[in-house]
Amino acid sequence: MSNSSRCSHCWVVKDKAEFYKRAASTTGVQNTCKECSNTYARKWSKANPGDRTRRAREYNYANREAVRIYAAKYHKDNYNSQRRGQTNDDHQ
């Protein structure tokens, strides 16, 4: 398998390390390089201000219970022990 891939946006052949991973792809990487992907994401964010926030709010509202459980687990596993400068092993 080749260690390079061509970006479908800028058409430059680059090393696979310059692409984000994608397990579903036959090459194992996305079809656009990191630089082009980031440029697109920045342009989209500027063209759609607040859209990411709106989508997150809609998801959180539709999945309230799952989000609450995740947040409680994250808080338990991270916040209390980090606040005291301890690891989870020290805390238990």
**Does residue 78 form part of some domain?**
yes
CATH of the domain at 42: 3.30.60
Q: Which two tokens stand for residue 62?
A: 């539709």
Cα angle for residues 9, 14, 17 (degrees, 5° grid) = 110
pLDDT computed for residue 88 by the predictor: 52
The 10s digit of each residue's pLDDT in 31-65 is: 999 999 999 999 998 999 889 899 999 999 999 99
- Same-domain check for residues 43 and 55: no
Residues of the domain holding 65: 51-83
* 41 lies in the same domain as 59: no
Q: Would you say 30 and 20 are in contact if contact means Cβ atoms under 8 Å apart?
A: yes
> How does residue 84 score in pLDDT terms, banded at 50, 70 and 90?
low
Which of 13, 35, 18, 34 lies closest to 5 in space, CA to CA?
13
